Amino acid sequence: MEYLDLSNNQFNGQIKEFPIENQSTLFWLDLSGNRIGGPIPNFFFQLPNLFFLWLSDNLFNDTFQLNKIRTLTILSMLSLSNNNLSVDTTNVSSSSHGYPNLQVLQMSLCNLYDFPDLRNASYLSNLDLSNNRLRGDIPSWIWEIKEIYLDLSFNLLTGLKKLPISPNFSDSIILLANNQLTPTNEVTLTVKGIEVWPDFTSVDMSSNRFEVEIQGAIGNLSSLYLLNLSHNSLSDAIPRSLGALTELGSLDLSENMLTGTIPWELTKLSFLSILNVSYNDLKGMIPTGRQFQTFSADLFEGNAGLCGFPLNKSFSSPHEPGSTPYESKDEEIEWEYVFVASVYVVGIGSVAWTLLFCRRLRERYFLEDRRGC
């Protein structure tokens, strides 16, 4: 047997240990999406040809020593995510020879306290260490591996250890959200110098502690589709250079301290389907045209100085401070009514005055009136 896929069933209980022959040809083992508990069996790591091992979304528990995978010399894809495991990486060193073919490593929700040393995993392209307890600096080797997907979100990370990132780190999705990254010199360079890696496609640095400005050079990220810098303390104005990100589909700058106006250059982004600038200190008229006509009001709320569609507020009249064009029109209509009413009153008053004070006209008027009866 070479391929065994038992994923997404309702298998439960514990897998018992049993001996494996060295000649086993099993290269694909998928047990994900079940309710299998207990420790991960040791015989899994005695399968010499194992290429794919997917154990995520189960109830595996106990402490798992990551150095066990060193025996699987051709292992390429490993997922231990979403179990009740505590993965111990302390005995994993850079001298280990067990990762030369590792391409995918997923260990989300594995109670990790320390980064595994994967410096010799030169083919690693997908690394998920999210939802753990990783703390301190992001190690320098992270930026030297050619990863396409890197998820370090929901940890306790506070800074970066080395910049710049290798040019090979491109065409990538970078998720650093919900950490405790602070504006150290390294982090400042990351946000300001993000001009350097034009092939990034998604960058999520939301819910950290950035307090630096967004620099105009961010417009050099020509391949960027998603940029999320929300829930930080970013200040200054939104750079006009964002209008050069022609592939941008989602931009979230909400919950910051951004000032100034929304650049009209953003209306040139024909793929932009989400723009969230809520809860900043922006002012002025919201740009109109193209995608801006489809955005809802909640994406702009929390900016007392913003006005225009889709908000209900509008600009004041440039001629009369505090008034709107609609108020001026109403005032013109009211004056027309006043003029007509005045003419009517003057006309009736003139007839009444003539009849009252001119005897001849009064007698003639009443005489004709009696004849008519």
By percentage, how much of the chain surpasses pLDDT 90? 51
Rounded to an integer, what distance in angstroms lies between the CA atom of residue 140 and that of residue 40?
Answer: 31
pLDDT tens digits along 209-251? 887 677 666 777 778 899 999 999 898 899 998 998 999 999 9
**Residues 159-178, buried b or exposed e (16+ Cβ, 10 A)?**
bbeeeebeeebbebbbbbbb
Q: What is the mean pLDDT of residues 137-165?
A: 80
Residue among 210, 209, 211, 275 nearest 242 (CA): 275
DSSP 8-state assignment for residue 12 = E
Q: Is the pLDDT of residue 194 over 80?
A: no
The reply to whether CATH 3.80.10.10 applies to domain 3-307 is yes
Q: Is the pLDDT of residue 44 over 90?
A: yes
Q: What is the mean pLDDT of residues 40-62?
A: 95
Task: Give the per-residue pLDDT at 181.
Answer: 83
Strand partners, 78: 53, 105
Task: Give the per-residue pLDDT at 78.
Answer: 98
Task: Give the per-residue pLDDT at 193.
Answer: 39
**Residues 238-270, buried b or exposed e (16+ Cβ, 10 A)?**
bbebbbbbeebbbbbbbbbebeeebbebbbbbe
pLDDT tens digits along 328-373? 334 333 444 444 455 454 455 555 555 555 555 455 544 554 444 4
Task: Give the per-residue pLDDT at 84.
Answer: 97
Mean pLDDT is lowest, of 157-166, 177-186, 286-295, for 157-166
Q: What six digits make up the tokens of 305?
A: 């100085």
Task: Give the per-residue pLDDT at 121.
Answer: 87
Residue 19 pLDDT grade (very low, low, confident, very high; cuts 50, 70, 90): confident
- Chain centre to alpha carbon of residue 131: 18
Rounded to an integer, what distance in angstroms lies between the CA atom of residue 130 and that of residue 146?
Answer: 18
User: Which amino acid does the sequence have at 331?
Assistant: E
Per DSSP, the three-state class of 156 is strand
Asked whether 132 and 87 are in contact (CB, 8 A), the reply is no
Residue 93 pLDDT grade (very low, low, confident, very high; cuts 50, 70, 90): low
Task: Give the per-residue pLDDT at 336.
Answer: 47
Task: Give the per-residue pLDDT at 259.
Answer: 95
Mean pLDDT is lowest, of 15-24, 279-288, 339-348, for 339-348
Asked whether 68 and 44 are in contact (CB, 8 A), the reply is no
Rounded to an integer, what distance in angstroms lies between the CA atom of residue 358 and that of residue 166?
Answer: 106
Q: Where exactly are the structural domains of the chain?
A: 3-307, 325-372
Asked whether 87 and 64 are in contact (CB, 8 A), the reply is yes
Cβ count within 10 A of residue 20: 16
Backbone dihedral angles phi then psi of residue 195, each to the nearest 5 degrees: -55, -15
Task: Give the per-residue pLDDT at 165.
Answer: 58
pLDDT tens digits along 292-317? 989 999 999 999 999 999 997 655 43
Residue 198 pLDDT grade (very low, low, confident, very high; cuts 50, 70, 90): low
Task: Give the per-residue pLDDT at 326.
Answer: 37
Task: Give the per-residue pLDDT at 217.
Answer: 65
Q: What is the mean pLDDT of residues 151-180?
A: 79
Residue 255 pLDDT grade (very low, low, confident, very high; cuts 50, 70, 90): very high
* Average pLDDT of every residue of the chain: 80
Q: What is the mean pLDDT of residues 186-205?
A: 58
Task: Give the per-residue pLDDT at 260.
Answer: 96
Residue among 100, 51, 108 nearest 79 (CA): 108
Task: Give the per-residue pLDDT at 97.
Answer: 55
Residue 187 pLDDT grade (very low, low, confident, very high; cuts 50, 70, 90): very low
Residue 256 pLDDT grade (very low, low, confident, very high; cuts 50, 70, 90): very high
